[in-house]
Amino acid sequence: MSPAESTVQEADEPSNQSVVELTDAAVAKFISFLKDAPGDHIRLAVKREGPSGFMYDLQIESPPWSDEDLVDKSNGFTMVVSPRDSIYVDGATIDWETRPDGTEGFKFHNPNAIEQ
């Protein structure tokens, strides 16, 4: 099989492309959230916030994803990212952290983000 043939996928086969890295703590939380959720996958998106900023958006979804979406099933659950949003999060890491004040949440470490 030539290299070109090995990258061809069937239309109904997910792409299984990882766009972001996940820590073990983040993986455990995503799996926990999906266990009792009405949806079957996590969608990672980037939304415009204000005139010059962006924010990350994580949603539990059940509708099927589109053929263009990047689909990663490698961590015991499915994460989906649109091609447009993948540009902003490529190479980022998602972690779950507990802060000193007791609040918890996902923390994004993104080398593409510009600090303001």
What tens digit of pLDDT does each residue of 4-55 get?
Answer: 333 333 334 445 667 899 999 999 999 999 998 888 999 999 998 877 688 9
Q: Which domain covers residue 86, as residue numbers?
A: 14-109
How many structural domains comprise the chain? 1
Query: What dihedral do alpha carbons 66, 90, 36, 15 form, nearest 10°?
Result: 40
> Which CATH number is 34's domain given?
2.60.300.12
Q: Does residue 115 sit within a domain?
A: no
Full-model pTM: 0.79
What does the alpha-carbon distance between residue 33 and residue 36 come to, in Å, rounded to a whole number?
A: 6
Q: Does residue 30 sit within a domain?
A: yes
Place 3 in a pLDDT band, splitting at 50, 70 and 90. Answer: very low
Q: Does residue 41 sit within a domain?
A: yes
